[in-house]
Amino acid sequence: MTDYNFAYLDEQTKRMIRRAILKGLAIPGYQVPFASREMPMPYGWGTGGVQVSAATLTPDDTLKVIDQGADDTTNAVSIRKFFERTAGVATTEETSKASVIQTRHRIPEEDLTEDQILVYQVPIPEPLRFLEPSEVETRKMHSLEDYGLMHVKLYEDISRHGQIATSYAYPVKVEDRYVMDPSPIPKFDNPKLEMAAIQLFGAGREQRIYAIPPYTQVVSLDFEDYPFEASKADAACDLCAATDSYLDEVITDDAGGRMFVCSDTDYCRSRRAAGHVGALGTAFDEDAA
């Protein structure tokens, strides 16, 4: 028994959000305004993503929630619990078993499929905001494809740091039309934005939804002489030996000990389960014991 409608939001609100999602899918990369609702959690906790997930989930869905790639952080756990309680949907930590994945700041390492939907929590949806504070003006720039300013930002990066220093929320152009903020994912993830799954982006405080349909062209902005690079730490995971995954640097003791581990906890776990062992790792069975 629950006092809530399925997935907390009332049906009328969900319909309104679904219309925004469909419009977003029809115009890839375009920010669709929507009437964001109060959610029982503070802004910054992913209220935009939660509303998009609520409008997307059906009783048959299996939900995965990650924060910086991990299923077990406070933010991920509380959102997962929220939907367990309000929607009664099955949840999982396994990327391949999820039909809807809500994420903050990462794209899973494992390739997603056409049967999956990836929902991003977005803090600031407007990629032009930092140089042009006027919303009226940025909207006009989008509608007129007046994007010189976006490269000014990258130019400033190079002139100040000798390279494009932007490493998160790296701007992209979608289907050769709209410039879009991919949310604060590391630029390592940018090439994965061209994927088989549906990608939905929700910004609660800023009341915007945008989307990338499956197999849409997504190009990271750059200069000919400073081409985009999907960089990561030049190391292997110390637990699973993966060299192709995005790594977090973790401090292990007071003596300054450090190790690199996959930020995608499910990816790391499944590799260890398959027998991969990193430089500082132990065999998976012992680890679990």
Partner 1 sequence: MTTAIEIPSAVTPLLRVTDLNKFYGTRIGCADVSFDLYPGEVMGIVGESGSGKSTLLNCLAGHLAPDAGQVLFDTRAEGMRDTVTMSEPERRMLGRTDWAFVHQHARDGLRMNVSAGGNVGERLMAVGARHYGNIREVAVDWLGRVEINEDRVDDRPTAFSGGMQQRLQIARNLVTGPRLVFMDEPTGGLDVSVQARLLDLLRGLVREMGLSAIIVTHDLAVVRLLADRLMVMKDGHVVETGLTDQVLDDPQHAYTQLLVSSVLQV
Report which secondary-structure segment, H or E, holds 77: helix 74-87
Contacts for 175 with CB less than 8 Å, ≥ 6 apart = 28, 29, 216, 217, 218
Question: Torsion over CA of 97, 109, 184 and 128, rounded to 10 degrees?
Answer: -100
| 256 is an active site residue | no
To the query of whether residue 240 is one of the catalytic residues in this protein, the response is: yes
3-state helix, strand, coil split of the chain in percent (to 5) is: 30, 20, 50
DSSP letter (8 states) at residue 38: P
Whether 69 sits among the annotated catalytic residues: the reply is no
Q: Is 275 annotated as catalytic?
A: no
Distance CA 164, CA 2 (A): 50
The verdict on 27 binding partner 1 (CB under 8 A) reads no
Each residue 209-248 as x (binds Zn ion by CB under 5 A) or -, in order, gives ----------------------------x-xx-x------
Residue 125 C-beta: closest distance to partner 1, Å: 21
Among 22, 26, 35, 131, contact with partner 1 (rule: CB under 8 A): 131
Shortest CB 148 distance to partner 1, Å: 3
> Which does residue 262 touch among Zn ion, partner 1, none (CB within 5 to 8 A, set by kind)?
Zn ion
226 binds partner 1 (CB under 8 A): yes
Strand pairing of 100-104 and 117-121?
parallel
Which structure tokens are listed for 254? 């007071």
Contact between 259 and Zn ion by CB under 5 A: the answer reads no
**268 contacts which partner out of partner 1, Zn ion, none, CB within 5 to 8 A by kind?**
Zn ion
Check binding of 165 to partner 1 (CB under 8 A).
Answer: no
38 binds partner 1 (CB under 8 A): no
CA torsion through residues 234, 239, 242, 244, sign: negative
Q: Which stretch binds partner 1 (CB under 8 A): 90-98, 105-113, 157-165, 174-182?
A: 157-165
Q: Is 162 annotated as catalytic?
A: no
Q: Apex CA 210: angle with CA 19 and CA 186, to 5°? A: 150
Pair of tokens at residue 239 = 């637990």
Q: Which of 97, 96, 102, 98 has the alpha carbon at shortest distance from 82? A: 102
**Considering the rule CB under 8 A, would residue 151 count as an interface residue with partner 1?**
yes
Which one of residues 10, 72, 115, 156 is an interface residue with partner 1 (CB under 8 A)? 156
Which range, of 32-40, 106-114, 158-166, 242-250, touches partner 1 by CB under 8 A? 158-166
Q: Which positions touch partner 1 (CB under 8 A)?
A: 131, 144, 146-149, 151-152, 155-156, 158-160, 222-226
What residues are labeled active site?
A: 29, 237, 240, 262, 268
